[in-house]
Amino acid sequence: MKRGKNYNTAVQSIDKLKLYESGEALGLACEISKAKFDETVEVHIRLGVDSRHADQQVRGAVVLPNGTGKKVRTLVFAKGDKAKAAEDAGSDYVGAEDMVTKIQQENWFEFDVIIATPDMMGVIGRLGKILGPKGLMPNPKAGTVTQDVAKAVLEAKAGKIEYRLDKTNIIHCPIGKVSFGKDKLLENFDTLLRAVIKAKPSAAKGQYIKSCVIASTMGPGLKINPTKVVD
């Protein structure tokens, strides 16, 4: 793959064989970012589990202390008092069957997170084949199926992110923008890693965190020492 001049310059600034300390890697990722936009910094964590087994799944959600730097649009499925609570909390969209119709007929996806009360999951189930592949189905483990929709809306807008394994046993998560600087990114990174470590399945054996890589949107990956991901 042909890379741009900025990427090639950035590659020359890092040691591909080195296992960086997390703070050093984040600082370097910010330093070598040369894109004309505020790049997102992402973490890629390979775990020593097998996602094919139900008892080795790793999934959850965590509120990053400094947010993600992204404006999050929420859609809440609720009725009555719960719908009113979601509106009062600042949800961008609130509805029920009408929203199902809108998504189905208009291919409407002007939202980033779906939150629902438990009684609305039967309604949302009609959208399973549409929302599932996009990773938008609400889930109790992520805190997006809840009676307290107001809290869920506030958390989503404050920087709550969901983490889960992909088919290759890797978790991919954004932890903020380059403009945050090293210190804020490190706070977010540590918060995410502590959550992932806490979510370790009892069935997982051997080394849990196999590898960890940090990279900005347009930058090269920096390998983190997996034995020192959290102080």
74-158 carries CATH number 1.20.120.1200: no
Domain chopping of the chain, boundaries: 12-67+160-228, 74-158
The neighbour count for residue 165, using CB atoms within 10 Å, is 20
Q: If you classify domain 12-67+160-228 with CATH, what class do you get?
A: alpha beta
Token couple for 15: 């040691």
Give the helix/strand (H/E) hosting 129: helix 128-131
Distance in angstroms (rounded) separating the CA atoms of residues 221 and 207: 22
Distance in angstroms (rounded) separating the CA atoms of residues 145 and 62: 15
pLDDT band with cut points at 50, 70 and 90 for residue 14: confident
Distance in angstroms (rounded) separating the CA atoms of residues 138 and 143: 8
pLDDT tens for each residue of 183-214? 999 999 999 999 999 999 999 888 999 999 99
Token couple for 221: 């990956």
CB 230 within 8 A of CB 193: yes
Token couple for 78: 């609720």
**59-63/160-164 β-pairing:** antiparallel
pLDDT at 143 over 70: yes
Distance in angstroms (rounded) separating the CA atoms of residues 205 and 190: 23
Query: Which pTM value belongs to this model?
Result: 0.82
Give, in degrees to the nearest 5, the angle at Cα 141 between 183 and 83. 95
pLDDT tens for each residue of 37-71? 999 999 999 999 998 899 999 999 999 999 999 99
* Domains 12-67+160-228 and 74-158 fall in the same CATH topology: no
pLDDT at 21 over 60: yes
